[in-house]
Each structure stands twice: as structure tokens, then as C-alpha cells.
Structure 1
């Protein structure tokens, strides 16, 4: 971890934090995190790809981790993250990149690939298959579903505000590590889904939690609640600007944990297992990890690293 360099890159009027490891002359891999993650979620993968002869580039999105918080977080769009990704790569003078995304970071990566197909060597996605803009896997879920709750301005703030930042991150890690879809009853909030005595998952240490806690202490949750949750209705902006043919042509590896709660969302397992997703991602290979949770890359780092490296080496020119 000591070899990881931390830089700040000024793009689109903000200083964005970018963690890096590996030689500048090596093939570049950009890692895009989900929520509640920050750059640190990729610690195992960064070191593995660097040791295998790649250059790992891992930004914190605007408003996350060590990156600047935008002046008006509530106006941040999903597309800002896509533009920031492109700007970081331009700044670093990288013309071709492997894209690795987790959770909604996969959607940032897929969208970047739709707009910049010539810049993407291949894509690895953890936990989220490409869906065309406007598809709604969670529409059928009840009011207490965590996304429905977090979309509501002020609701998560009041819920999270009862605890210190570290406890909020701990609770979200516990909730998202389960295979059940996080749904609160009418008279409870999402944080109430965790009994205070519940331990952290075995693969996530108190030291890991302390890093997350410090970083969210700095950034707060306003931008993370805005993107991905409160912009869900504005994904349409992508479809207005996107190429007519919504196909991700780059070779793509989808790694799904069988115990990932996302797999339980209405229609998701069928969409992936039936191969319907290949209408949009024709060069797709999917690998399932039997006990894998929503955080499969932190839970089984050696297995995931091996899958990633096999794939990158296959598509390295």
C-alpha cells in the first residue's frame, strides 16, 4: 500500500483525488467505485494489476473521498462522473484504457465506453450488467426499498444523522453484504436494519472501516446520495446524447456473486442468465462466484484478481 501514489488532478473546475500504482509506460486500467466505496475499495486489485505489469488509476468521484465537493452537490449529474473519467484520462494522456467498474461504477464505465469506444480496450464489471437507459429493475419494489428511501431528499440525511459517519458506513457494508434485498418496514429506517451488535463481515477489518470513516467524514454523504440515488430519473439525459446504437462493443467480463442482493432484483437474474444482456453487450462473458456478495472483490480478492488478470492479459495488445 505504501507504493500507491496519491495525486490531485484539476478537471472540470474541481481537484479530483486519483490513487495510482504501476509504471506510466504500462497498459492503463481505470477502476470506478460504487457506493459506499471510495478509491480504497480497490486496494487488493490495484496491487495485483500493478504486480502483473499494468498501471492502476483509481479516482474518487467528485464529492467522494478526497476529491473536491462540487459547489452545488444537489445538481451533480451521473454524466458529470462520465465526463470526469474522460477528463482524467485526457489529463494523463491515456488514449486506450481497460475499464473496471463495481456497482454503479460499472454504469459510469459502460457509458464512458458508449461515447468513447475507441478508447476502451475491454471492460470488467462487478455486480451490475449493462442496461439501456430507462430500464427500471427496482420499480416493482416496495416503498421501503433502500433506493426508494434514499431518493427522497432529507430522508437518508435524517436517518444517517442519528449515528457517527463510521457507523453509517459499517451499517451499509453489513446490509449490502447480505443476500436479502434491503427493505425497511413502514415504521423503520434503513439504518434500523442492522442490530448494533452485528459484527463487520470477516473480510472487512476495523482498519478498513477507519479509512472509510475518515474519508466520509471529509466528504459527507450529500454527493453520494445525489449520484447514484437521486439522479435515477435523469439517466434519460444519457439516452438523449448517447449513440443511436446502444451497444457496448468492447470485450466485457461480468463477475456476479451468487449471493449478491442485486441478483435478487426483479428480472435481473433472468436478464443475465438468459443472455438477453448480450443484445447490448455482444462480446460478454459472465462468471459467477458461488458465495460472492455485493463486495465480491473485497470478499474474495485472490479469486477476483485472477479472473481480472486472465481477462486483461487476453485483451492486451
Structure 2
């Protein structure tokens, strides 16, 4: 990762951490999810740069090496939307290819729907086009012990995570989110109890990777991460009659637990998502899970670069 350059830029009063590689005239902006930071895109950023593109990843406010907002308990998805557009303005990037994963796909959906003129192409991994609000992730139709329901309760995740070292929390979440079933706890359990202490790391996730994530969450904590996405998923983002006009690609792992969310698989496989994203290609990876960009990076790199090359300006 030595070739990736790091810096901080001031965006809307906060210093946001930027990771960047490549010098192409066409720019790919990577939007991370949870429990991730820019580092989740390490394989893709290097590959995209080698293919002739400028790759940028950044830590959202309150994540990783970026500043905490002045009022963390008021952070919401609109902050992340406005930060993304302000970052593009600051870097004088008129149009960008967006690649979003997990809740980064929700931020990307907001950008692509609200700022169509700024998006040359739109790729999501693990989550299709979704906006925050009651029609997004329908966690109220999931069991009470569903992890999103638990983490939306003020103080509950804080107490659960606080029993363990940050490194163990990250390991447990990566282990849980690597499975094909949504994490659901019994009434007498917390989410962290679902992972045995002896559980190994996923084979594609190294101790070095775990330490990279843990060191940054030790700095940032989980305060903003629990607020955005989990505790602001139901907020009305104010985007009416959303439509993504840019060419788009959705990559889902067949083993991604998100497919078991209420209504999610039907939304994707029926093509209902295309009412919002008409120019959408959907690819399912047989061996992909919720971390396909890290588990099978070569396949994800090939899909992303193939998409970029198809739609880049000649």
C-alpha cells in the first residue's frame, strides 16, 4: 500500500482523511461502509490506478483518521452527502465514478439521485440503490434480536462493545458479517455473544488487516458509526422521486447476508430496483459475501475496471 498517498483536507469545517493513488483524468471515488474505513478499498484503488484512473478513498466524518463532528449525536446521512459533494468541489472534480459498499452505497445512492450531473457512473457492492427512510432497510420486519434493531437502541451497542477490546469487536463484526445469515441474538444474548472467543478470522482477512482497522477505531470510537448508519437509517433525506440516470452496476455475493433482509432479494432479483436505476447491470458472485471486495478482490477489480472502461470518455 506504499503507493497510496495520504493527506487531510478541510471539508465543511472538518479535516477529512484522504487516500489517493493514480493520476488519470477520470476519477473514481470509493465510499466505505461499516466496520470499514478507506482501507477496505486497498485492492481496488491500486488496481484502478494501474488501469489509468485516479482513485480516491476517504474516511467519512467520525470514522478513521477524519475529524469527529462537533456534535456527534446529530450526525446524519445528509452530512455524508454534503461532505462528498463538498470534497468533489474542493478537488475540482466536476464528474466522478462512485463506488459504494454497505452504507457507502446508501450515501452513493443519495449523491447519484440528488446530483445526477456529478456522477459519470455508479457501482454498489452489497447493497442496491437505497435511500435512508422508512422504505429503505425494513428492519422493523426482522426479528427483535436483529443486529440493526439492537444497535439502534441508545446505549445498548455501547455497553456490548465496551466489554471487549476494540480489536475483538472488529474481529467479531467481520466474522458475523462474513456469514450468509443476518446476525440475530436471542433475548438473553447481545450481538457480541454470537461469536465464540475461539472463532478464527476469515481466511482472507489477515492479522495485519485486523490491526489496521482496530487501530483506527481505537482512535475514532464507534459513536458516529452507530449514529450513521444505524440510528439514522429511518430519517427522511428529502430526496423526492429519486432516479439515477448514470450507468450503474450492482454486485451482490450469493452468500451475502443482506439478501436475507426483509424484501431485499426480491427487490434485486425481480428488477424492482430498476425503477430507480434504469440503466443497471446486476451481477451475482457465487463465492461472494458481504466483503467481496476483500474476499475475492481480483473478481471485484475485474468487474469495476470493466465497467469503467466501458463508460469512460473516449
TM-score scaled by length of structure 1: 0.96
Aligned to 1:278: 274
Matched, 1:210 2:211: yes
Give the 3-state SS of the residue equivalent to 2:30 in structure 1. Answer: strand
Aligned to 2:148: 147
Give the 3-state SS of the residue equivalent to 1:139 in structure 2. Answer: helix
Q: Distance in 2 between matches of 1:52 and 1:26?
A: 12
Matched, 1:81 2:80: yes
Deviation for aligned residue 1:138: 2.0
1:202-253 Cα shifts (integer Å, max 9, x gaps)? 110000001001000000000000000011221x1x1x3x2x4311111110
Q: Distance in 2 between matches of 1:147 and 1:131?
A: 16
* Count of aligned pairs: 311
Aligned to 1:58: 57
Q: Distance in 1 between matches of 2:305 and 2:31?
A: 17
Q: Distance in 2 between matches of 1:138 and 1:129?
A: 16
Aligned to 1:256: 252
Q: Distance in 2 between matches of 1:55 and 1:26?
A: 7
Whether the aligned pair in 1 keeps the contact of 2:75 and 2:227 (CA below 8 Å) is yes
Aligned to 2:5: 5
Runs of 5+ consecutive residues of structure 1 not aligned to the other structure: none
Q: Distance in 1 between matches of 2:178 and 2:249?
A: 22
Deviation for aligned residue 1:113: 1.2
Q: Distance in 2 between matches of 1:276 and 1:180?
A: 23
Deviation for aligned residue 1:190: 0.3
Whether the aligned pair in 1 keeps the contact of 2:109 and 2:130 (CA below 8 Å) is no
Matched, 1:196 2:197: yes
Q: Distance in 2 between matches of 1:137 and 1:52?
A: 38
Matched, 1:246 2:245: no
**Coordinate RMSD, CA, aligned:** 0.9
Give the 3-state SS of the residue equivalent to 2:169 in structure 1. Answer: helix
Alignment of 1:1-317 (within 5 A): 1-23=1-23, 25-131=24-130, 133-135=133-135, 136-234=137-235, 236=236, 238=237, 240=238, 242=239, 244-317=240-313
Give the 3-state SS of the residue equivalent to 1:311 in structure 2. Answer: helix
